[in-house]
Structure 1
């Protein structure tokens, strides 16, 4: 693309997840799926962007190469066959160097293809992305839908908010686009462009899709990208609009399993109950999972959630040390986590609990407190995660200032098994060893194994749990620096 010449040669756009590994590529959660307890999710940001283009007469294709077991030859073949005028690439902060290979591939095939990158990393460091790859034309900053539409309609680049591009050999960043307040105005994601059979529940193998119920997070956790990329104000879709999409998925795709993509689905009590009542009134017969916080659940919310088909709630407990919770501005107490897990069990809801070890103040003692707390609250499923210092977060600023980030931390794809940070008290290697220890201390307990087996209500579920356990053990002990 010539400097600042947004020339659309046809109305075709190819949206891709590059063949650089299985990740959650959500802006706030760029996690490798190696050995974690979840399954791949549809690339919702790409599906929203393609939907708004289709609504305006464009022909779109979408490929999720990692879940399709595709490779770079498939990327080349698709570009040659489809001949798009725009190639949109979904990136993450640790895979971006490899992801952007697609730009050079596209330019070799047709220099007129406009190459566009979208990811949490393009919001944080858009200039660096253009410096990293001379064949990248545009980096999208912030919410992508309206920005993508203006690019596709051929608007002059300097008039488009929320992008970074080149002009006369220099990199230019336009003002950030305001957040979309009326999320109901967006079309439903273009799921018809994806092979839905690739996205399944890890326990039953049934097709599962993601519903984005809102954007923004009022919480102030220092390690999370949510406020950076989506803002601190909670913006919710109307209950009717959310359930319209659920009904669309049930009727048009036969999908009855859902994950609500929201930083905290349960934040607004009245809204949660309204969504549940709407699901019940339409007799949708669905099952779903949602993220929550320990201080945003109570009996009434959980009663309605259970009635409406919720079977699992995810809690970011993060630490068994109140000191670490306070230092990371998590905004919850250990007692609130205990009560949240107690309430979930009371209402026969399964729980998925995450713990984060390796924050700057962590010691061997606070990490063991976390492991002991995990045993105490006894979630049904859990994940122990090593932190990653995302630029734009307060944690990154602290870790950078105090030299806690290892050299080369951003040079390779991060697998969450080898720590790229140290604490004030522990080396990166020691954190990696503590992560390995979590497997034996938490997962390999006879009591826990018996509990998981008792929850298997079919041979298929037992097989899936067994397969996951074996893969998790291999991932833990294959990890080397």
Structure 2
């Protein structure tokens, strides 16, 4: 079959601010699963700067029999528009959607966009391959685990598929089908790698453990080194971002991988994420010696009450400890903070903003609590009837979509801007910015604020 995989056109706030986007690795994994038996092409419309008209020309030229799309919640309207363009060009082309949003809302998705033929739920590689093979051979679809499809006006949800036990069995992403030169921040080209799947934790705002399972599964060190070598030697990527939910969940593996990167002399610089309670001085030192420059911590809040509501299982003191050890090893620390939980008070939000400055992180990311489908926060918002919109474009973590107990939508939006201003526009940060980072932090902060202001003036 001729299969076209598409990351639909979308202009997110992050893309506007940072001027870049990352590779759609999910599509690259799907392509690698079927390319031996089928013709497959990937179009990353975001990276290429394509609009729907451009996509239409590609669809006409390639004439696919199956089109696969992946989209986050805020990108769903863009996915729907792409589907409509494809069906207008060829009403017989089959359309399949995947990703966390459609995994948890298959009926809603097909109601909102009846032109969608199939939905792949959960980890998609094996389900997708079985779907493509079955369509080519005109076999029954009822035995494909993890598949949803329309039949006689009804949505049929086949039983779920369990997570892949040995993730080394999944082929390496088809990087050669992506516009690898397009993934850059300024003059720096970067690559992305996922070395593990699954999360044993249960944070209220995260769907990862539901999408990829509670059991953590990591690639072997050898497999990971092979993939890093491909990115470094074949594509010239020296800057690497590890996209694992928690790169350090198995600390011994994180250290072993860092040691091998150093021994192999890969000459890469990189960043990875960690929970503050899966970090250690040993991990920090190993990462630094292997070329890591930044560790991303999910600190979330400075209020223990809020942390308990989230189900984070950490304390502010533990966050301070982790940041201190990261910086002692010579790593930059980036902290993620979330404000605007349903019963969070203005005082608790102020506590988080103050803590962002106290905890010692070099960079801070602030977002508004957003109830993505499948999360415990989504269930909570539906139960308490505080969800104020199902306009998926608003689910960006920069727009309030819940009715809060103590703050209005305008107040929480203002609190988000205030958080960025109070963190980045301190005299200390401006001085360090000018001395150490040559304006990088300040420029990014100011671009973010300018973008926010422009958005509000539209």
Which range, TM-score by smaller chain?
A: over 0.9
1:189 equivalent to 2:165? Answer no
Distance change >3 Å, CA 39–CA 377, structure 1 → 2: farther
Instruction: Work out the CA distance in 2 between the residues paired with 1:261 and 1:416.
Output: 19
Aligned to 2:215, the other structure's residue is in SS state coil
Aligned to 1:94, the other structure's residue is in SS state helix
Aligned to 1:288, the other structure's residue is in SS state strand
Q: Which residue of 1 aligns with 2:125?
A: 145
Aligned length: 453
Residues 387, 402 of structure 2: 8 Å contact kept: yes
RMSD: 1.8
Residues 220, 331 of structure 1: 8 Å contact kept: no
Instruction: Work out the CA distance in 2 between the residues paired with 1:336 and 1:288.
Output: 24
Q: Which residue of 1 aligns with 2:416?
A: 435
Q: What's the offset of the Cα at 1:452?
A: 2.0
Instruction: Work out the CA distance in 2 between the residues paired with 1:128 and 1:409.
Output: 11
1:68 equivalent to 2:36? Answer no
Instruction: Work out the CA distance in 1 between the residues paired with 2:231 and 2:260.
Output: 15
User: Which residue of 12, 19, 27 corresponds with 2:2?
Assistant: 12
Instruction: Work out the CA distance in 2 between the residues paired with 1:330 and 1:166.
Output: 38
Instruction: Work out the CA distance in 1 between the residues paired with 2:81 and 2:287.
Output: 44
Using the size of structure 2 for normalisation, the TM-score is 0.95
> What does 1:42-53 correspond to in 2, within 5 Å?
42-53=23-34
Residues 422, 431 of structure 1: 8 Å contact kept: no
Instruction: Work out the CA distance in 1 between the residues paired with 2:122 and 2:346.
Output: 38
User: Which residue of 378, 387, 402 corresponds with 1:421?
Assistant: 402
Unaligned runs of 5+ in 2: none
> What does 1:122-161 correspond to in 2, within 5 Å?
122-154=102-134, 155-161=139-145
Distance change >3 Å, CA 78–CA 198, structure 1 → 2: same
Using the size of structure 1 for normalisation, the TM-score is 0.90
Deviations 1:367-417 (A, max 9, x none): 1100110111231111110011112211122222223221x2434343433
Residues 386, 417 of structure 1: 8 Å contact kept: yes
Instruction: Work out the CA distance in 2 between the residues paired with 1:48 and 1:411.
Output: 26
Instruction: Work out the CA distance in 2 between the residues paired with 1:296 and 1:411.
Output: 33
Unaligned runs of 5+ in 1: 1-10, 23-31, 457-461
Residues 116, 137 of structure 1: 8 Å contact kept: yes
Instruction: Work out the CA distance in 2 between the residues paired with 1:223 and 1:136.
Output: 27
Residues 15, 21 of structure 2: 8 Å contact kept: no
Distance change >3 Å, CA 466–CA 435, structure 1 → 2: closer
1:346 equivalent to 2:328? Answer yes
Residues 340, 404 of structure 2: 8 Å contact kept: yes
Deviations 1:149-170 (A, max 9, x none): 1111124211211111111222
User: Which residue of 116, 121, 133 corresponds with 2:101?
Assistant: 121
1:170 equivalent to 2:154? Answer yes
Aligned to 1:207, the other structure's residue is in SS state strand
Instruction: Work out the CA distance in 2 between the residues paired with 1:364 and 1:197.
Output: 44
Q: Which residue of 1 aligns with 2:274?
A: 292
Instruction: Work out the CA distance in 2 between the residues paired with 1:422 and 1:335.
Output: 30
> What does 1:391-402 correspond to in 2, within 5 Å?
391-402=373-384
1:455 equivalent to 2:436? Answer yes
